[in-house]
Structure 1
Amino acid sequence: MDGLSRLLRPRSIAVIGGGTWCAAVVEGCRRIGFAGPVWPVHPTRAEIGGVPAFASIEALPEAPDATFIGVNRNTSIEALRALAARGSGGAVCFASGFRESVAETGDGHELEAALVEAAGAMRILGPNCYGFLNFLDGAALWPDQHGAERVTEGVAIVTQSSNLALNLTMQSRGLPLAYVVTVGNQAQTGMAEIAEALLEDPRVTALGLHVEGVGDLARFAAMAGRARTLGKPVAVLKSGASEAARAAAMSHTGSLAGSDAGASALFDRLGMARVRSPAELLETLKLLHAVGPLPSARIGVLSSSGGEAGLISDMVAARALECPPLSQAQRTALRAALGPKVALANPLDYHTYIWGDREALARTFTAMLAPDMAMGVAILDFPRPDRCDAGAWEIVIDAAEDAVKAAGRPMAILSSLTETIPEATAQAMLTRGIVPLCGFAEGLAALEAAARLGSMTGGTDITVPGAEPEAPRLLNEAEAKEALSRHGVPVPRSRMASSPREAAGAAAELGFPVVLKALGLAHKTEAGAVAVGLASATEVEAAALRMASDRYLVEDMVSGTVAELLVGVIRDPAHGFVLTLGAGGVLAEILADTVSLLLPATAAEIDVALDRLRIAPLLSGYRGRPAIDRAALLAAIAAVQDYALTHADTLVELEVNPLIVTAEGAVAVDALIRLGEPR
């Protein structure tokens, strides 16, 4: 085995140190049922956690596969050097005081570099991390309690937060955890490499990531590609959005997109489902473990309560999920199962007429599982097991199992509250092929995430930004438009002028009406530096005098506007070059109607993204208005992308706002570009 495999799936474990956390590791290995030897190491103590201790690393019977180093930061470096000399597999570095606390210690960077140098080729997790739990093989290099138990298969979770990892092990939702791994500072071994090693384990069914920062973007993309090859879905909880992308403050795009939009665009491109909370992560992983990505967002929902059916209908409408109307075949089968008194709909309130009748319940559930449904969802909250008898509720699980076998499609039982599916009941459901989803909000988020995964193609074609360009400068509007036009972006005919009289003459040459702009400002409308619809030389000269500038741009006025769009690209060092499309013009930031993609983006991806905008109906022709020239719009966006990719080594940001789209074409009437010098 390579070093990382030895570390994560060890046959022998050493524990260095005498603190309570080291004793907890020894006891944790015993409690989880680790089959190999556990060797405490301490220079003066005879035993740690009830196990005889060795005086030094050199005194160990052989090189350990995995070691928990629970001593201070300086001694940790010495221990790593000794372990590496013995040929050990890998180690968990528990100590803090390295790069994460450089502001407090002053020497964190130097010590972390020394730690990596001491390890050499030996793999390390951390420093500043809790380590990991392997519930498949029974290895617990973990200095605390945990709430999970041994499994034969399950999901792997990798997180940048040790405390979050601890909390996730305490879940009682029935989710089988195969691995929980914390990465700490990732001084030597990064999250993507650890995740890929876990994905290679055939007993791992799905992967969950808690990401504060992606780090090595190319390596992360390679891991995502391997997950797709292995057919193992990935869900991501992203936190800690940096300000890197918001540094592009000159444009609307910089404030609208930001690094959070870049993260979402990255995960979309890589075929990963983003979730928004730890609870959503757990429920999504449970659904992915049990049935994998869903083929569509179409679900059939059943309840014995009209109130529940109404609530869930509202909540489904707020998500990218669909409860499609019942087909005639469904209606016929449901009427036969339920009789004449039940109003047929989706979501369905089947009342309590058939409660206790397993056959009728199964026929009802089977009827809802039509061929075009991705999944059936039965709403059910179980009574408290400590005070109530849940015997009468078990028949719903029986009927759901019968329906799954009859229809060949999956079913979930969804509780309205998180706590109303007891853990033992949830585990029993999974064993029987039924997915227990705990809580309306989290359960629907999981269904949405699984459906989104099912619609993704995924890819690793990402333009990875190089070093941030130095000394960035802003091109004026005329320069920016000229640069974009050379790549095929349509722009209005224009003339430059250096005085009000020259501006009037330039307007006469172009023909009226015209637009007049004072150059040198990023947001000209707000500064009163734009005048539109000027119909004579006199009007042009008067407007130029009011602007009191020494540089003017006079251009044709575009007519026949159907919509104004924003098309922008920002350099996001953490996620790639982010293409943002949205409602443009002076209301761009107020409307905040945007979608983001990573470059390079295909025409098909851009086309789909445009339909996700709230203003999409305008583009197709709204209430008798003309539809836009879609091909011209796509060509203009492609030309903007071409400019960005061609200048990837120097581009900081660019924005076309507005890109006016008409029934005959698309024209960039304002543009901003910021370029630097390549490092």
Structure 2
Amino acid sequence: MRDLSRLLRPRSIAVLGSGWAANVIEQCAKMGFDGPVWPVHPTRDAISGVRCFRSLADLPAAPDATFIGVNRHATLDVVAELAAMGAGGATCFASGWEEAGEAGLQERLVAAAGNMPILGPNCYGVINYLDGALLWPDQHGGRRVERGVALLSQSSNIVINLTMQARGLPVAYVACLGNAAQVGLAELAGALLADDRVTALGMYVEGIDDATAFAALAEQARAAGKGIVCIKSGKTELSRTAAASHTASLAGGGAASSAFLRACGVAEVSTPAELIETLKIFHLCGPEIGPRLCSLSCSGGEAGLVADLAAPFGVDFPPPSDAQRARLGEILGPIVTIANPLDYHTFIWGDGPRTTDVFTTMLAGYDAGLFIIDPPRPDRCDPSSFQPALDAIVSAARTTGRPAFAVASLPENFDEERAVAMMERNVVPMMGLETALGAVRAAQTRAGLADWRPLRVVGPRALHLRNEASAKVLLAAAGVAVPRGVTAASLDGLDVSGLAAPFALKGLGFAHKTEAGAVRLGLASLAGQAEMAGAQGYLAEEMVSGVVAELLVGLRRDPVYGATLTLGFGGVTAEVLADTVTLVLPVTADEVTDALRRLRLWPLLDGYRGRARADVAAAVDAVMALQRMMDDPALEEIEINPLMVRASGAVAVDAVIWEGEA
């Protein structure tokens, strides 16, 4: 593992280039960097008022960090010279590498760097707000802090935008990866989190280069009490074999990445605003908040709005305990209905002690609390009457030790000054009710399993389809129940005398039998059946009876995350209703059961309106057997559609298996 400490926390900085270099020098001066900044230029005497050195060899010492603002071909020579002189690391700003079709140029850059860490190329660099050290050629919106979160992005523009936030989030580091020719996502993230002054990590991720290293990073961060929240872009891109099966289309793109982040215990959000608000929670409260939430407001309209907006996020508000009801009733009187969300009315408005009593009593019974409060704008109104309620939130948090979120329903109703003041008093100010609910839900992300790592990635390869009869032989050997059946090269050769009607007749050699007209169901006999065009043999099976529900179960290799498991209801139901759950292997039986419960159609498995209950345990056993089959690297994809689940047992009625070279 490379040592990035000198690059991220330099005591000396060298700068090469002219225009961009001047920006770096000016930003370091503006931020109060107390170490030397050494411009290097072959002809200029000074840049931004700082004396230039003619070459790297003329520097007083090997720099800890270097901003390289010269063209890509000159960058190769600079990196090689820095590495030879024992420099601590460099940011390579120039573009025009692999992204511009310059094949092999990045490999030459990595070779030139050797063990010296480099960020980029095509990279803005890094800002250290803790020590005032910047390898950054542009404006930014941050300021010096003593502790705070780190922001890591694969897009320079997006992270610049994040630095402009006025929401009270203390930012300790900003870092970009660029093309990540050498230092990758998990390596840079780990180096940022290794600083004790960093409390959490926010990431904008376009692609994960090493899923195993990322999973290890997430586990280490949790163990250190530091949460990670991520925006993952590119969710709509289907994976490389999207046309091969239902599973491929359902598990492509965002489904797999979201499943991977969930398995790692990394919170995922969709917007920059949610990213910032979630980071504020992690900064003050640690990497996870509990599921039991309360909400308090002085308006029934606000209480109703909270309940309505929370539902799509899956955020619940359990009712108060009997003891809470009794105490709150004593304080608030008989007119106020004690509920959660709680409308405490305005009877106690301005009464600091009673408001504190209400807030503390309510918060004490929950894992965390939302306090809806929108102070009036100070330029036209007098917000002073809101101060007792704001102080009561602080007191409730301090007394109970529970996280307290002061939520402005409109983001502009907390300005930056108020937000910073609330953060300094250990209350999370949250801007925008809907954004706050999304952030709270993200902050409830549970830790991944200890030592969980994804399966090994199997690279692209030629694939072939195993016919259904042969596929079911594999399934049966693995312990998955299949229907009794017979096969033959032609219809005339099928002998169903040992089977019980009705029969299913299938042509072999098709990935999508229904579309090819290669499946016929409910046959009393095979007499008079016509040949199926293109069939490479035939399979006749007993029809399965007593079916409670039909499931789709698909397992497939993933080029980034190793292998995925997708669960849904059978046939086209999963696609039409978008009702599937994707997990990243390996999984436990409990995780599979939980995934089935997350399906909207779960009630059909659980005895809805007096129906028979499906043997979910048998279905889970079948899934676990299929997972064990994926230990064979020759198997690329297994799809059971449907797995027919009965009141007792589960049978794989249709099977598609794609294979490749191990």
1:248–1:652: structure 2 CA closer, same or farther, 3 Å change rule? farther
Aligned equivalents of 1:74 and 1:609: distance in 2?
Answer: 51
Residue matched to 2:625: 639
Residue by residue over 1:521-580, the C-alpha shift from the partner in whole angstroms, topping out at 9 and shown as x without a partner, is 222223332222222x2xx23344577856221101100111100111111111120011
1:466 to 451, 458, 463: 458
Q: Distance in 1 between matches of 2:533 and 2:523?
A: 14
Structure 2 gaps, min length 5? none
State the match for 2:24 in structure 1: 25
Range 561-570 or range 44-53, more displaced: 44-53
User: Which portions of structure 1, spanning 4 or more consecutive aligned residues, are displaced by more than 6 angstroms?
Assistant: none
What code does the residue aligned with 1:425 have? R
For 1:674 and 1:236, locate their aligned partners in 2 and report how far apart those are by CA, in whole Å: 33
Matches within 5 A, 1:456-535: 456-457=448-449, 459-468=451-460, 470-503=461-494, 506-535=495-524
Structure 1 residues 3 and 601, CA gap change in structure 2 (3 angstroms): closer
Which of 637, 657, 661 is the equivalent residue of 2:645?
A: 661
Partner of residue 72, structure 1: 71
Q: Distance in 1 between matches of 2:64 and 2:346?
A: 58
Give 1:56-455 correspondences, 5 Å limit: 56-102=55-101, 108-241=102-235, 243=237, 245-371=239-365, 373-453=366-446
Aligned equivalents of 2:94 and 2:270: distance in 1?
30
Letter of the aligned partner of 1:489 in structure 2? V
Which residue is equivalent to 2:13?
13
- Normalized against structure 1, the TM-score is what? 0.94
Aligned equivalents of 1:158, 1:583: Cα separation in 2: 38
Deviations 1:298-343 (A, max 9, x none): 2110112222211110111111211111222121122222222222
The letter of the residue matching 1:40 is: P
Describe the shift of the 1:549–1:84 C-alpha distance in structure 2 as closer, same or farther (beyond 3 A): closer
> Shift in Å at residue 111 of structure 1?
1.9
Q: Deviations over 1:632-660 (max 9, x none)?
A: 21211111111112x22x22221011000
Distance 1:405 1:225 in 2: 29
| Pairwise CA RMSD | 1.8
| Contact persistence 1:271–1:459 (CA under 8 A) | no
Distance 1:533 1:133, change over 3 A: same
Residue type of the partner of 2:650?
A: A
SS at match of 1:356: coil
The amino acid of 1:400's aligned partner reads I
| Structure 1 residues 601-625: Cα deviation after superposition (integer angstroms, max 9, x where no partner) | 1112112111111121122211111
**Residue in 2 that maps onto 1:558:** 544
Pick closer, same or farther for the CA change 1:242–1:402 going to 2, 3 Å.
closer
Shift of 1:193: 0.5
Helix, strand or coil: the match of 1:245? Answer: coil
Q: Distance in 1 between matches of 2:449 and 2:437?
A: 22
The separation in 1 between residues aligned to 2:408 and 2:338, in whole angstroms, is 22
Distance 1:165 1:546, change over 3 A: closer
The Cα of 1:246 is off from its aligned counterpart by: 4.3
Q: Classify 1:74/1:547 alpha carbon distance in 2 versus 1 (closer, same or farther; 3 Å).
A: closer
Match in the other structure for 2:661: 677
Report how far residue 99 of structure 1 moved.
Answer: 1.2
C-alpha displacement of 1:181 = 0.4
C-alpha distance in 2 between matches for 1:181 and 1:437 = 25
Separation in 1 of the partners of 2:253 and 2:481?
29
Equivalent position SS for 2:364: coil
SS in 1 for 2:306: helix
Q: Does the CA contact (< 8 Å) of 1:525 and 1:586 recur in 2? A: no
The question of whether the paired residues in 1 share the 8 Å contact of 2:2 and 2:115 is answered with no
Instruction: Report SS of the residue matched to 2:63.
Output: coil
CA 1:324 to 1:242, structure 2 compared with 1: closer, same or farther past 3 Å?
Answer: closer
SS of residue in 1 equivalent to 2:213: helix
Q: Mean alpha-carbon deviation: is it higher for 437-446 or for 4-13?
A: 437-446
Q: Tell me, in whole angstroms, the C-alpha distance in 1 between the residues paired with 2:289 and 2:161.
A: 32
Aligned partners of 2:238 and 2:249 also within 8 Å: no
Q: CA deviation at 1:4?
A: 1.0
Classify the secondary structure of the residue corresponding to 1:491.
coil
**CA distance in structure 1 between the partners assigned to 2:358 and 2:265 by the alignment:** 35
Q: CA deviation at 1:599?
A: 1.5
Deviations 1:82-115 (A, max 9, x none): 222221101111100011221xxxxx23221222
Equivalences for residues 520-669 of structure 1 within 5 A: 520-535=509-524, 537=525, 540-545=526-531, 549=535, 551-645=537-631, 647-648=632-633, 650-669=634-653
Q: Which moved more, 1:592-601 or 1:221-230?
A: 221-230
Q: How far apart, CA to CA, are the structure 2 residues paired with 1:285 and 1:543?
A: 65
What percentage of aligned pairs have identical amino acids? 53
Contact 1:501/1:541 (CA < 8 Å) preserved in 2?
Answer: no
Deviates more, 1:215-224 or 1:63-72: 215-224
Displacement of 1:245 after TM fit?
2.8
Distance 1:543 1:343, change over 3 A: farther
Q: In structure 2, what is the Cα distance between the partners aligned to 1:548 and 1:576? A: 34
Aligned equivalents of 1:268, 1:548: Cα separation in 2: 43
Q: Cα distance, 1:25 vs. partner?
A: 0.6
- CA deviation map 1:13-48 (0-9, x unaligned): 1111111x2111101001111110111111111111
Could you give the per-residue CA deviations for residues 346-389 of structure 1, whole angstroms, max 9, x where no partner exists? Answer: 11122222211111211111121133x11111111233334333
Is residue 226–residue 287 contact of structure 2 (8 Å, CA) maintained in 1? no
Contact kept? 2:458, 2:562, Cα under 8 Å: no
1:493 Cα deviation after fit: 0.4
CA–CA separation in structure 2 for the residues paired with 1:494 and 1:2: 59
**Aligned counterparts of 1:383 and 1:435: Cα–Cα separation in 2:** 19
Q: Distance in 1 between matches of 2:44 and 2:583?
A: 58
CA contact (8 A) 2:219 2:448 kept: no
Q: What is the CA–CA distance in structure 1 between the aligned matches of 2:411 and 2:105, rounded to whole Å? A: 45
- TM-superposed deviation, 1:588: 3.0
Distance in 2 separating the partners of 1:526 and 1:512 = 24
User: Which residue identity is paired with 2:487?
Assistant: M
Gaps of 5+ in 1: 103-107
CA distance in 2, matches of 1:665, 1:168: 53
Q: Following the alignment from structure 1 to structure 2, what is the Cα–Cα distance between the partners of residues 644 and 113? A: 34
CA deviation map 1:420-454 (0-9, x unaligned): 2111111111111111111112211111111123x
